[in-house]
Amino acid sequence: MKIILSVLFLAYSLIGFGQQSKEKILGKWDIHRVFRSEKNVTKENDPSNNRYITFNADGTFESGGDPYGINTGIYTLSENGTLFIDSDAGEGDDSMWVISFDKKQKNMTWKNASSQSASEFVVVLKRSKK
């Protein structure tokens, strides 16, 4: 079942990417849910329900919220939907994700592609209303 879901997720995430996708991620996104090995670990990763990431048109980002504080850096989004976060906090804080959007583009889902142990993580973000 996990294999089927993974294949479907990957296929879905590759549909509809291209030039317009870079524009889709612009703006502020709030963390909605975090899963590790299909277990909801949102409370451990966003205990104050205030974590966010903002993508700017110039290729920079800012993230923040408790317990991690503010972080900045640059990002790149490939045409196949792979997002690379290059953090100013150092190489150990860099990450790679396969992303997808819901039909209304109000939710964005990230599946970690950085390493085998990190690949268990899935993050669901909602477009911020603020």
Domain range list for the chain: 2-127
Taking CA 14 as the corner, what is the angle to CA 45 and CA 116, rounded to the nearest 5 degrees?
A: 45
* Helical (H) or strand (E) element with 121: strand 121-127
Q: Give the residue from 38, 67, 70 showing the smallest Cα distance to 53.
A: 70
Q: Could you report the per-residue pLDDT of 69-91, keeping only the tens digit for each?
A: 999 999 999 988 999 999 999 87
pTM score of the predicted model: 0.79
Which tokens is 88 given? 């100013």
Give the model's confidence band at 3: pLDDT under 50 very low, under 70 low, under 90 confident, else very high. Answer: very low
Give the model's confidence band at 111: pLDDT under 50 very low, under 70 low, under 90 confident, else very high. Answer: very high
What is the model's pLDDT at position 20?
A: 54
Q: Is the per-residue pLDDT at 18 higher than 60?
A: no
2-127 — its CATH code? 2.40.128.270
Residues 6+ apart with CB under 8 A from 51: 30, 31, 45, 63, 64, 65, 66, 68
Cα separation of 111 and 114, whole Å?
A: 9
Q: Is the per-residue pLDDT at 29 higher than 60?
A: yes
